[in-house]
Amino acid sequence: MRNILSLTVLLCALSWNIAHANTGVALVHGTGNATDAYNDYWKSGFVESVRQGLPNSSNLLVVNCNFDKYMWDDAAAGCLAGQLYNFITSKNIDDLVVITHSNGGNVMRWIMSNPTWDNRYPTIINNIRWVNALAPSSKGTPLADAVMQGNVFEQSLGWLLGFKSDAVRQQQESWMAYYNGSWLQGTSGRPALAKGFWNVVGTDVESAIWDSDSYCGGYFENVGLETTQNWLDSCSDGFLNCSSQNGAGSLWFNDKDRTRGDEPLSHNQSRRKCFNLDVILRNDI
């Protein structure tokens, strides 16, 4: 009985704290040198739908940084830290939900794993509620290895992965294994991250020309991802194996377990307004 009462009090206290917090949301893009991630990376429909979950709609930040660099680079983690820190301090955010996609999860994990690296990091970490990581490349991808070797993937994946940038080099599987074993937290056998890192895993790609769902996020992008899926595990989103997407932190859900119509999320669709993903994220806020 005492344990039940204690749990009830704790849950009430947590609910009260969240209800009285100043909640903010930050959208952190993946690989690329973003200057207008609102329109180019996420698209306005996705952003504005997610924004509806905020008590104060102005408490939303769409990050624009150079994630073609290594995750620790000042243009990557330094830029992200600056934008998050200024957002938190200028708006008095004390309940920050971070939504990342792909390589953005690695840059975010760098900040969360290395609190003494930058004096802005502790403030950011302390005010995070949790990170919702959409298809994070936590263990890298064989396609990054292929790009670095200069084969056909360098051209076919230029729209998604980029070319031989530092970020692509970093996402090679052996390189991510090194970082996960030394600099990054949250993977098996390593210390847990200070705040939750919750993964949304894309398990498949559909690109049938007669299926209207194949057009969400861009039909030709999905065709490309179904092609590259041939070089990945049977469970993948066309860019990342499921094991990589759920390689750090904790599983929130596999796409088909929560999406409308049990639809899979390709790597491109997991940053788009597809199959109620935006509504799931909005409600989570």
pLDDT of residue 7: 53
Closest C-alpha to 167, from 197, 144, 185: 144
pLDDT of residue 159: 54
pLDDT of residue 6: 43
Domains of the chain, by residue range, sit at: 20-284
What CATH number is given for 20-284 in this structure? 3.40.50.1820
pLDDT of residue 149: 79
Going residue by residue through the chain (285 aa), what tens digit of pLDDT does each one get? 434 544 554 455 455 455 579 999 999 999 999 999 999 999 999 999 999 999 999 999 999 999 999 999 999 999 999 999 999 999 999 999 999 999 999 999 999 999 999 999 999 999 999 999 999 999 999 988 888 877 656 555 555 566 678 999 999 999 999 999 999 999 999 999 999 999 999 999 999 999 999 999 999 889 889 988 888 999 999 999 999 999 999 999 999 999 999 999 999 999 999 999 999 999 999
Q: Which residues fall within 8 angstroms of residue 148, CB to CB, at 6 or more apart?
A: 164, 168, 169, 172
Tokens of 214: 């194949």
pLDDT of residue 227: 85
Report d(CA 50, CA 281) in Å as an integer: 6
